[in-house]
Amino acid sequence: MRFSPISEARFARLLRYSIFLPVSLLAALASTLVWQVHGLLEAADRVDRSDLTIARANHCLRLLIDMETGLRGYLLTGNREFLEPYDRGSAAIESEWRLVQEAMIAREQIARVEGLIGATEDWRVYARRMIALRQGGALANGLEENREGKRLMDEIRRRTDELIRIGSTLRDERSDSAQRNARAVLVSAIGLSLLLGVVLAAAARAQLKHVTGSYGTALAELRSLTSTLEQKVEERTQALQQANEGLESFAYSVSHDLRAPLRAMQGFAHALREDYGDRLDDTGRDYADRISGAAERMDVLIHDLLEYSRLARVEMELRPVSLQSALEEAMEQMSERIRSKGATVTVEPPLPEVLGHRQTLVQVLANLVSNALKFTAPGVTPRVTVRAEELNGTVRVWVVDNGIGIEPDHFERIFRVFERLHGIDRYPGTGIGLAIVRKGVERMGGRAGVDSQSGEGSRFWFELAKV
Ligand code: ADP
């Protein structure tokens, strides 16, 4: 996979921006909202304080009216009981006005309360004087002096009304400002969220575009690599096929041409024994025998080689073949060897029909049974079993023996031409039998293999399509 360094750097930058930008926006959004909500809370607090001021001012006014009523009752009747609301109010009124002041923010309002405290004190001076006069009996009913009292109390009322009126205006202004604050918070939250959404979407889109682009490039490169690879494999396969075909035809013609001089050797060795046998001494006769034996072995070798190369070259038409009858024919060819070795060959039915080439199938079976009879330890009577099993539309044929077995390391090797695991004196052979088995099975569209443990017999198998 090949990515240009520029695109990787750009990708890293893109990644940084797409994280950095939304995070900073989120931070800005959060701090703006915190600041605005703080403002909103302050505005709400101001509204609350205005409400409290107005309520407390009203309370002071009520207290004063009670005091005035009590004073009047006393002045009229001289009964001290009437003075009770007056006494109670006197004890509390100044601190009540101070409470009004405490709830205030506007300086001019605080100054107005200060004025009210003064006016209240003026009225109380008047009230104390009147009480003293009444007590001294200087007043019959104290009402002639009351004009001054009315004037002082009217002044208090006027000032309190003014205080409450201005307080109400302030409260309305503060309430408006709080509402404006709330709206600003809402607008900012929505606006910034939208902005954040847009930035995130843009970042995601850019990322996606890059990733899709890279993916597309990688895919295109992969496709082109695959097609190059396929082309190369095709070329190699063709070259190999040609080389193989050349080799096979060379082997065929060489083997074929070797037969003529071989026949001559065999003929002359035979003539030597027949016509000049009495004139040869023992050594001469031994030499003649050896020439015959070697020529015979060479004949078998050439025969096998020709058989192998014929298998590779012949046009093979596949048709249903009875495994049972192919095996019977192979056993017929082996009958003399089976008898001479006292071997038993057990066939476990059923042996189904397979798709194959009859003559090749007979050859494959004959080679496997022949090996099973041959590769036994000295003194061991060969016991061979042939059976078949069906696996997903194929038939697997097993040829199992009680012979010397094969090490797993050699499982592949022994299927190659001339590969033998033993000396020719101990187990004679050409090393072509299993190569013929594999080539033949492959030409019939199947495969062949072996499963064995040294000393525990071998289990050769091949698979062909089931009919
Ligand atoms: P050949 O039988 O002529 O030696 P093959 O190609 O048939 O040649 O076999 C190759 C080698 O595989 C044999 O030489 C032998 O070492 C081993 N082999 C084949 N069949 C068996 C078997 N049934 N048991 C043990 N070894 C075997």
Cα 302 to Cα 257: distance, rounded to the nearest angstrom: 10
How many angstroms separate the alpha carbon of residue 330 from the centre of ligand 1? 18
More confident residue, 5 or 133: 133
Helices (H), 78-139: 84-102, 107-135
Specify the pLDDT at position 144: 52
How many angstroms separate the alpha carbon of residue 108 from the centre of ligand 1? 121
Q: Would the CB of 314 count as within 6 Å of ligand 1? A: no
Q: Would the CB of 404 count as within 6 Å of ligand 1? A: yes
Place of tokens 């900073």: 24
Cα–Cα nearest to 123, from 81, 94, 151, 89: 151
pLDDT digits 0-9 by tens, 56-113: 999 999 999 999 999 989 988 889 999 999 999 999 999 999 999 998 988 999 999 9
Cα 210 to Cα 30: distance, rounded to the nearest angstrom: 30
Q: Percent of the chain beyond pLDDT 70? A: 96
Instruction: Give the range among 30-44, 54-68, 112-126, 369-383 with minimum mean pLDDT.
Output: 30-44
Q: What is the 3-state secondary structure (H, E, C) of 159-197?
A: HHHHHHHHHHHHHHHHHHHHHHHHHHHHHHHHHHHHHHH
Whose alpha carbon is nearest atom 8 of ligand 1? Answer: 431
Specify the pLDDT at position 141: 56
Q: Are 97 and 89 in contact (CB under 8 A)?
A: no
- Residue 146 confidence class, pLDDT cut points 50, 70, 90: low
Residue 381 DSSP one-character state = P
The answer on pLDDT for 213 being more than 70 is: yes
Q: Name 321's bridge partners.
A: 354
How many angstroms separate the alpha carbon of residue 29 from the centre of ligand 1? 84
**176 half-sphere exposure, CB direction, 13 A CA radius:** 5
Q: Are 49 and 104 in contact (CB under 8 A)?
A: yes
Specify the pLDDT at position 3: 44
In the chain, the N- to C-terminal Cα span, in Å, equals 46
Cα 66 to Cα 149: distance, rounded to the nearest angstrom: 14
Q: Which of 16-30, 303-317, 375-389 has the highest mean pLDDT?
A: 375-389
Q: What is the mean pLDDT of residues 248-254?
A: 75
Q: What are phi and psi of 93, to 5 degrees?
A: -60, -40
Q: Which atom of ligand 1 is nearest to the CA of 403?
A: 24
**235 half-sphere exposure, CB direction, 13 A CA radius:** 6
Pocket mutation for ligand 1, best pick of 414, 437, 438 (most atoms within 8 Å of C-beta): 414
Specify the pLDDT at position 143: 57
pTM over the 0.75 mark: no
Whose alpha carbon is nearest atom 11 of ligand 1? Answer: 420
Cα–Cα nearest to 89, from 120, 52, 56, 134: 120
More confident residue, 427 or 245: 427
Cα–Cα nearest to 302, from 258, 334, 344: 258
Whose alpha carbon is nearest atom 12 of ligand 1? Answer: 414
Q: Would the CB of 433 count as within 6 Å of ligand 1? A: yes
Q: What is the CA radius of gyration of the chain?
A: 61
**391 half-sphere exposure, CB direction, 13 A CA radius:** 11
Specify the pLDDT at position 137: 79
**Mean of per-residue pLDDT scores for the chain:** 88
Q: What is the mean pLDDT of residues 398-405?
A: 96
More confident residue, 314 or 292: 292
Specify the pLDDT at position 142: 52
